A and B are shown apart, each in its own frame.
Chain A
Amino acid sequence: AQKITQTQPGMFVQEKEAVTLDCTYDTSDPSYGLFWYKQPSSGEMIFLIYQGSYDQQNATEGRYSLNFQKARKSANLVISASQLGDSAMYFCAMREGRGNQGGKLIFGQGTELSVKP
């Protein structure tokens, strides 16, 4: 069963506008972490933001914020004031459990974001 689901293969957004990238997850583990990464065409994976399952508040990092709805098992990424440099693939990932084996990430299918000038 798919543990991380990103239902938007591609998204377009106008420069300076906000955009929401969807991510839903499935786990029975009460302890988990959710991550968003950006992957430009060059291939490197850039960490954007983290949300822990026990965090009471939604995570924010600059223009990035995470809309965490635990009951719905969703962790959507919101990018405010989009910039041309935001054009990239975006991956949602989940880490389950604890310990070294818990460090591995399971990735969603990704969303390709294109920012229009």
Chain B
Amino acid sequence: GAVVSQHPSWVICKSGTSVKIECRSLDFQATTMFWYRQFPKQSLMLMATSNEGSKATYEQGVEKDKFLINHASLTLSTLTVTSAHPEDSSFYICSASPGQAGNGNQPQHFGDGTRLSIL
């Protein structure tokens, strides 16, 4: 089945540093990947749609310069949290789907998520 790998699982770093999170589709190609953010006991909030070979589409209220997304290949999207601060601490999770994302009953397959803690 479709497998999405996300790395790293945990990150603890100092305020002001930048953190890169990788999302890979292991056994399929994904022209589109999605990045979500989740606070404890809350729902997943879509941050942006990552498009291979073009600019990401950000949801309203998400800072583009803060959360840099790069989708350089059909199997890899990266999310970089720049100049991270404690309020950026959260659970970040990516998803992808084989084939054209909006067609049929293809579910989004999720990575295992990254727990980011900014001290």
In the complex, are the beta carbons of B102 and A100 less than 8 A apart? yes
Within 8 Å CB of B46, what residues of A? 104-106
In the complex, are the beta carbons of A99 and B107 less than 8 A apart? no
Within 8 Å CB of A100, what residues of B? 31-32, 49, 51, 100-102
Q: Of the candidates A37, A50, A98, which one forms a contact with B102 in the assembled complex, judged by CB atoms under 8 Å apart? A: A98
Q: Of the candidates A33, A37, A103, which one forms a contact with B34 in the assembled complex, judged by CB atoms under 8 Å apart? A: A103
The verdict on A91 contacting chain B, using a C-beta distance below 8 Å, is yes
Q: How far is the CA of A96 from the CA of B31 in the complex (A)?
A: 18
Within 8 Å CB of B43, what residues of A? 91, 107-110
| Segment from B19-27, B61-69, B75-83, B108-116 that makes contact with A | B108-116
Within 8 Å CB of A95, what residues of B? 102
What is the CB-to-nearest-CB distance from A95 to chain B, in angstroms, rounded to a whole number? 7
What is the CB-to-nearest-CB distance from B91 to chain A, in angstroms, rounded to a whole number? 6
In the complex, are the beta carbons of A104 and B49 less than 8 A apart? yes
| Segment from A13-21, A39-47, A70-78, A80-88 that makes contact with B | A39-47
Within 8 Å CB of B119, what residues of A? none
The verdict on B42 contacting chain A, using a C-beta distance below 8 Å, is yes
In the complex, are the beta carbons of A98 and B93 less than 8 A apart? no
In the complex, are the beta carbons of A52 and B105 less than 8 A apart? yes
Residues of B within 8 A of A (CB): 31-32, 34, 41-46, 49, 51, 57, 91, 93, 95, 97, 100-105, 107-110, 112-113, 115
Q: List 28 A-B contacts (CB under 8 A).
A: A35-B107, A35-B108, A43-B91, A43-B93, A43-B113, A43-B115, A44-B110, A45-B93, A45-B95, A45-B113, A47-B109, A52-B105, A95-B102, A98-B102, A99-B100, A99-B102, A100-B49, A100-B51, A100-B101, A101-B57, A101-B102, A102-B102, A103-B97, A103-B101, A104-B49, A105-B46, A108-B43, A112-B41
